[in-house]
Structures are given as C-alpha cells and as structure tokens.
Amino acid sequence: MAWAGSTRRQRLPKDWPRTRRRIIRRDRACVWELSDGTVCGAEGSDVDHIEPGDDHSDENLRLLCAWHHQRKSSSEGGGAAARTRVRTHKPKPTHPALED
C-alpha cells in the first residue's frame, strides 16, 4: 500500500477532499507530459504534488493517472534514499602476485 509507513496522510490539510475534487474537475485527465510534448490524457485518479512537500496550493497540484503517479513517486523515493545513503569506499584489491 502506498501509504504504508508514510506520515503524508496526516500532513494533508483538513479540506483535502475538497481540494482534491477541485483539481480533478480542473484537469479532468492525466496531465503528465510525454517525451514528444503531448499529454498522457488517460483517466486521472491521483492528485500529485508537483514539488514534493507541504505546499497544497492549486499551482503545485495536478491530476495524474495511477501509472504516472506511481513512477513519479518511486523516482522521488529512490532519489531521496540515494541522497541519504552512506557511501563506503572499499579499496580495490590487488592481485596476490603483485603484492610485495
């Protein structure tokens, strides 16, 4: 489940259902821009925050289909994990015949 382990739902404003309906009425379909410049246009189901965070203004919200929303969310999660990952440097082993 997408909400499992997330505090995101608790941080949504109290009027989120009304805001969500407004964005669905405004966009009507998935507005994800494809590589050729066209818009997806599939049935929209998920209201997405363009810039992640707690800015719930209409300018930062858009309607996406479940497929594009999942990919965007996965990409953001993977990027966040990569930024917090501790990198360890392991020296390359030398061949035993080259050691003194």
Q: State the pLDDT confidence band at 48, using cuts at 50, 70 and 90.
A: very high
Query: What value does the CA radius of gyration of the chain take, rounded to a whole number of Å?
Result: 21
- What tokens were used for 93? 């082993």
- What tokens were used for 41? 């246009």
The 10 Å CB-count burial string (b at 16+, else e) for 39-55 is ebeeebebbbbeeeeee
Please say whether the dihedral angle defined by the alpha carbons of residues 43, 3, 80 and 47, taken in this order, is positive or negative.
positive
Model pTM score: 0.74
Per-residue pLDDT of 63-92, as tens digits, reads 999 999 999 988 887 666 677 777 788 888
Q: Is the pLDDT of residue 42 over 90?
A: yes
Angle at 48 between CA 47 and CA 52, to 5 degrees: 150
Give pLDDT, residue 97.
82
Give pLDDT, residue 2.
59
Q: State the pLDDT confidence band at 1, using cuts at 50, 70 and 90.
A: very low
Domain residue limits, the chain: 8-82
